[in-house]
Amino acid sequence: MSTTRTIPLSSPWLDEREEEVVLEVLRSGRLSLGPTIDRFEEAFAEVVGAPYAAAVSSGTAGLHLLCVAAGIGPGDEVVTSPYSFVASANCAIYEGATPVFADIDPVTLNLDPGAVEAAMSERTKAVVAVDIYGYPCELAELRALCERHGVPLIDDACEALGASYRGQRIGSHGPSAVFAFYPNKQVTTAEGGMVTTHSEEEWRLLRSLRNQGRADSGGWLEHARLGFNYRIDDVRAAMGIVQLEKLPEILARRQAAAARYSDLLAGVPGLDLPCADDAEHARSWFVYVVALPEGTDRERVIAELERNGVQTARYLPCIHLQPYLRERYGFAEGLCPVAEAMSARTLALPFHTGIDEADQAYVADALRTALE
């Protein structure tokens, strides 16, 4: 195989339209706290079917604000997934709470509701569920569990814009949800995030918290509560509006690209492909992550793909085994055996909205060869 080719793991999908609207904002002089942010929020709320949306500076900021809104503090526990990006646990740690990791389902890679139930205690103050790789979590069961315990469910939907659960988009169901717009996401604003909520009161609180604790009624130097600077700006919001307009095409292209990989990789012995949609879960394709055959030396496969110019990523390391969490809470191997086993096997292949069909065929060939 030629080694001159490089196939990137990810790439944003932008054109002149984003450039035009960014320039318009730059020339308008309203760079932040301007009307473009309101328009982005309104458009986003409509797209996901939520009554309220509050734009923030990142997905992490959104998750943190929902933890603040839930009143999470020292001594509290927050149950979450070990198979996720660190921010879904960090958001609770920022407020002094202890993350409690419940194991995942080996097929969906999302939280196993039975494990969540077993992990809940009288100290549980919230559950942060993740729609990993854009596949909706078990919303109904998790919601029922949280209602029984009288604690909020926070939906980390950072990877799931456009996904649906029971026929309705993530964001429309009620639990407050957080979306993220880093450049590898379905929709990007470079950096940015959005929180959707079904409570006007929570929406007003989020808008205050992201804006240094200012109240709607107060002045610029009046702070009603301890807040943060977690604002998005009008430049990013303008990009977001254009990207949202493209969402149907983005989702369709990503779905087609995923289907192509699944065809190209069908029948590779022992290779597990991302789980298919079912009657309740419709994925929004964020990444294409395979689980290598059991016993495969993943590092050898990664190195061989790299030699052939194919970028990959070890999605996702278990959060509880990250150095700072081992050190701080004494977490070790064996805490979440399913997540640990899947995490050792899973690998993200190059995947983005504009991925070329020939590149996908090349990646699939390279992977097949590496696994022979």
Task: Return the active site residues.
Answer: 185
Q: How far is the CB of 176 from ligand PLP (least distance, A)?
A: 14
> Cβ contacts of residue 186 below 8 Å, gap of 6+?
134, 161, 162, 247, 250, 251, 254, 284, 285, 286, 353
Q: Report the residue from 13, 44, 50, 58 that binds ligand PLP according to the rule CB under 6 A.
A: 58
| Contact positions with ligand PLP (CB under 6 A) in 331-350 | none
Q: Report the residue from 84, 108, 172, 353 that binds ligand PLP according to the rule CB under 6 A.
A: 84
Q: Report the residue from 36, 60, 108, 211 that binds ligand PLP according to the rule CB under 6 A.
A: 60
Structure-block tokens of residue 163: 């996904």
Structure-block tokens of residue 230: 């977690």
| Contact positions with ligand PLP (CB under 6 A) in 277-306 | none
193 touches ligand PLP (CB under 6 A): yes
* Part of the chain binding ligand PLP (CB under 6 A), chosen from 13-21, 47-55, 84-92, 196-204: 84-92
Q: How far is the CB of 188 from ligand PLP (least distance, A)?
A: 10
The half-sphere exposure of 2 on its side-chain side, counting CA atoms within 13 A, is 6
The most distant pair of C-alpha atoms in the chain lies apart, rounded to whole Å, by 67
Q: Name the residue nearer to ligand PLP (CB basis): 87 or 301.
A: 87
The half-sphere exposure of 28 on its side-chain side, counting CA atoms within 13 A, is 16
**CA angle centred on 182, ends 177 and 188, rounded to 5°:** 90
CA distance 293 to 279: 28
85 touches ligand PLP (CB under 6 A): yes
* Part of the chain binding ligand PLP (CB under 6 A), chosen from 44-52, 80-88, 121-129, 326-334: 80-88
Q: Report the residue from 7, 55, 79, 87 that binds ligand PLP according to the rule CB under 6 A.
A: 87
Residues near ligand PLP, by CB under 6 A: 58-60, 84-85, 87-88, 130, 156, 158-159, 180, 182, 193
